[in-house]
Amino acid sequence: MDDSEEEEETSVAELMFELLALDDILFDEPIFRAIYLDYRHRSNLGTAVNDQQYVGHEDESWRLTAIDLLTDKYLLSKNWKERHKIHVKRESEALKDALEEAVDILKERRVDRMIKDRQETLKTSDEIGVMATLQEIIQLSEAKKKLAKKTGRVIVG
């Protein structure tokens, strides 16, 4: 990186929410959806958003969810590297790739549900509606193939 380039630090939440917003993806789980929409709303208003707003939230389910998401599940002993000379790749080292893959998988599942919804509407559509719905299913199937290629998942059917 040369002097003209500046590396901007982005939090995991900012990156994840940015990736979700690109395709206007929402969570199905109500608590995740509510927290995400609150974060997006505050962010769109230009308000600084930090974890303490959620850890100290008045709603207990928000607090518990935030604490669960922010707390490390495991603590790795320093002895692995210092004494045993074994480097264990930390989650933070692969976080960006893992996050992008997780968001792509989420998008792929959403596209799957959209395809199933369109297939259900085919059952009650008239002739013109059938053609339009089939066109949507084709477009959604193409999007699903692209997402599956990115995630390395196999499409059956």
pLDDT digits (tens, 9 = 90+) for 63-99: 999 888 887 666 667 776 677 676 666 666 667 777 7
- Confidence check: pLDDT of 147 > 80: yes
End-to-end CA distance of the chain: 45
User: Are 66 and 109 in the same domain?
Assistant: no
Count of structural domains, the chain = 2
Residue 82 lies in a domain: no
User: Are 141 and 110 in the same domain?
Assistant: yes
Residue 99 lies in a domain: yes
Residue 87 lies in a domain: no
Give me the torsion for CA of 28, 134, 130, 132, rounded to 10°: 90
User: Are 106 and 67 in the same domain?
Assistant: no
User: Are 101 and 149 in the same domain?
Assistant: yes
User: Are 20 and 56 in the same domain?
Assistant: yes
Distance CA 69, CA 10 (A): 17
Residue 79 lies in a domain: no
Question: Domain residues for 19?
Answer: 9-71
pLDDT confidence of residue 44: 86
Residue 116 lies in a domain: yes
Distance CA 16, CA 12 (A): 6
Residue 155 lies in a domain: yes
| 27, 69 contact by CB (below 8 A) | no
Among 89, 94, 111, 101, which residue's Cα sits nearest to residue 25? Answer: 111
